[in-house]
Amino acid sequence: MSVFKRSAFALAIAAALAVTACKKTDEPKTVTAEDLKTDAQKFGYAIGVDLAKSLKPVKDDVDIKSLEAGLDAVFAGGEPVLDDATREQIKNTVAEKLQKKQMEERTATASKAKTEGEAFLAENAKKAGVKTTASGLQYEVLTEGSGAAPKATDTVTVHYKGTLINGETFDSSYDRGQPVSFPLQNVIPGWTEGLQLMKPGAKYKFVIPSALAYGERGAGAKIGPNSTLVFEVELLSLGEPKPAAAAAPEAKK
Active-site residues, by number, are: 160, 170-171, 188, 214, 231
Question: CA-CA distance, 186 to 181, in Å (whole number)?
Answer: 11
Per-residue CA distances from 155 to 181, 201, 205 (Å): 7, 15, 20
Per DSSP bridges, beta strands 155-164 and 138-143 are unpaired
Question: CA-CA distance, 18 to 3, in Å (whole number)?
Answer: 13
Question: CA-CA distance, 240 to 39, in Å (whole number)?
Answer: 51
Question: CA-CA distance, 208 to 234, in Å (whole number)?
Answer: 16
Question: CA-CA distance, 36 to 45, in Å (whole number)?
Answer: 8
Q: Which ranges of the chain would DSSP assign to H, the alpha helix?
A: 8-22, 39-55, 64-75, 84-124, 173-176, 189-195
Question: CA-CA distance, 224 to 215, in Å (whole number)?
Answer: 9
